[in-house]
């Protein structure tokens, strides 16, 4: 990490965050020797108004921009990385570890173009102290929300998360005139696995199938488990052949998977693209209808065999 000289400085008129209500302070040389009690109270009150990490960082940035000339602000924890909107590359980076006692919260990094004065550095340390507990609470809330949106067995998104992401994906597709596809899947004769080998084996098969699906999609695709043996994939920014490619990959991966082949597990798939007249229900129901038709064909074939 670059070591910065500690010098008094005036703010650059190109501070990214000067537009966040701090224009009048951009050309000032801040001379506060302490961050007084009234300011602390007002600032902490603002920080306590949200549990959204992006909003929290934005509130913090407005205040910090009075004392630091930065063009980027970045927060990194064990679970995620956040960059303040509008952040851009700077000449140097100054990094601060945020801790409560021995509890490491994360790292806050500033992209700066000018050194931080000793006076403003002391104020910045006080701002960090104000941020610690609101940020810790926001991280805990974020983690709880992630768990609420996650299927416990497979680690995939659950039905609630699917509903939110489908709505978002359709909105983005309409806005950007892009293709979004939906692939639904369930395992054939999965109940027989539970009946013959027990639920522990059934759970193992579900986790393995989830891993197969992960290997068959792009990083930009989203994967969900509804419960039971029902799964869904949202394919954003797709092309005309995207869904067929994913279906082919899944079928090939299943055929070569040692564990799933051992129990003769196959799956049925139903896929479709969104059209401009769709809402979430009509889009899902069309894919579900294709899945049902596929399921009937597979069941008839297995019965004959």
* DSSP-assigned letters across all residues of 264-284: T--EEEEEEE--TT--HHHHH
At 48, give phi and psi (nearest 5°).
Answer: -80, 0
35 compared with 146, residue with greater pLDDT: 146
Least confident of 58-72, 139-153, 159-173: 139-153
pLDDT of residue 30: 37
148 closest CA partner among 170, 135, 164: 164
User: Average pLDDT, stretch 211-218?
Assistant: 96
Residues of the chain with CATH 3.30.450.40: 16-148
Asked if residue 70 lies in contact with residue 14, where contact means CB atoms within 8 angstroms, the answer is: no
User: In the CATH hierarchy, which top-level class contains the domain 16-148?
Assistant: alpha beta
Q: What is the mean pLDDT of the chain?
A: 86
User: Average pLDDT, stretch 190-209?
Assistant: 93
For 1, half-sphere exposure in the C-beta direction (CA atoms, 13 angstrom radius) is 13
pTM assigned to the model? 0.65
Contacts of 55 (CB under 8 A, 6+ apart): none
126 compared with 298, residue with greater pLDDT: 126
Distance (Å, whole) CA 43 – CA 38: 9
pLDDT of residue 107: 95
Distance (Å, whole) CA 69 – CA 20: 13
Q: Is the pLDDT of residue 122 over 70?
A: yes
pLDDT band at 90; cut points 50, 70, 90: confident
User: Average pLDDT, stretch 255-271?
Assistant: 94
Q: Give domain 159-304's CATH number out of 3.30.70.270, 3.40.50.2300, 3.40.50.720, 3.90.550.10.
A: 3.30.70.270
Distance (Å, whole) CA 134 – CA 117: 26
pLDDT of residue 1: 37
Residues of the chain with CATH 3.30.70.270: 159-304
pLDDT of residue 300: 64
Least confident of 25-34, 56-65, 216-225: 25-34
Q: Any bridge partners for residue 96, and if so which?
A: 108
Angle of the 280-304 helix axis to the 159-176 helix axis, nearest 10: 120
144 compared with 3, residue with greater pLDDT: 144
pLDDT tens readout for residues 100-111: 998 999 999 999
pLDDT of residue 303: 56
Least confident of 19-23, 37-41, 196-200: 19-23
At 127, give phi and psi (nearest 5°).
Answer: -65, -40
User: Average pLDDT, stretch 113-139?
Assistant: 92
User: Average pLDDT, stretch 242-246?
Assistant: 96
Contacts of 216 (CB under 8 A, 6+ apart): 246, 249, 250, 253
Distance (Å, whole) CA 200 – CA 267: 20
Sign of the Cα pseudo-torsion (213, 214, 215, 216, in order): positive
pLDDT of residue 178: 95
pLDDT tens readout for residues 265-282: 999 999 999 999 999 999
């Amino acid at each position: 990490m670059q070591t910065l000289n500690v010098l008094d400085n005036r703010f650059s008129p190109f501070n990214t965050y000067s537009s966040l209500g701090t224009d009048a302070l951009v050309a000032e040389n801040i001379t506060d020797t302490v961050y007084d009690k009234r300011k602390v109270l007002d600032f902490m009150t603002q920080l306590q108004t949200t549990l959204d990490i992006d909003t929290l960082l934005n509130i913090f940035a407005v205040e910090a921009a009075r004392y630091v000339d930065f063009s980027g602000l970045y927060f990194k924890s064990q679970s995620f990385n956040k960059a303040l909107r509008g952040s851009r590359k700077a000449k140097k980076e100054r990094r601060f570890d945020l801790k409560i006692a021995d509890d490491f919260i994360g790292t806050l990094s500033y992209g700066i173009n000018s050194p931080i004065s000793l006076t403003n550095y002391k104020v910045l340390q006080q701002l960090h102290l104000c941020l610690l507990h609101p940020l810790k609470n926001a991280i805990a809330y974020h983690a709880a929300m992630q768990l609420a949106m996650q299927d416990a067995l497979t680690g995939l998104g659950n039905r609630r998360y699917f509903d939110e992401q489908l709505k978002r994906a359709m909105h983005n597709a309409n806005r950007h005139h892009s293709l979004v596809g939906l692939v639904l899947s369930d395992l054939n004769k999965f109940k027989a696995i539970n009946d013959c080998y027990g639920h522990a084996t059934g759970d193992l098969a579900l986790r393995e199938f989830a891993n197969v699906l992960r290997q068959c999609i792009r990083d930009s695709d989203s994967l969900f488990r509804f419960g039971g043996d029902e799964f869904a994939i949202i394919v954003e920014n797709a092309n005309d052949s995207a869904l067929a490619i994913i279906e082919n990959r899944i079928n090939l991966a299943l055929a070569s998977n040692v564990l799933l082949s051992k129990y003769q597990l196959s799956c049925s798939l139903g896929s479709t693209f969104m059209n401009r007249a769709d809402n979430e229900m009509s889009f899902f129901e069309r894919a579900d209808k294709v899945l049902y038709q596929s399921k009937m064909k597979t069941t008839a074939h297995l019965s004959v065999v």
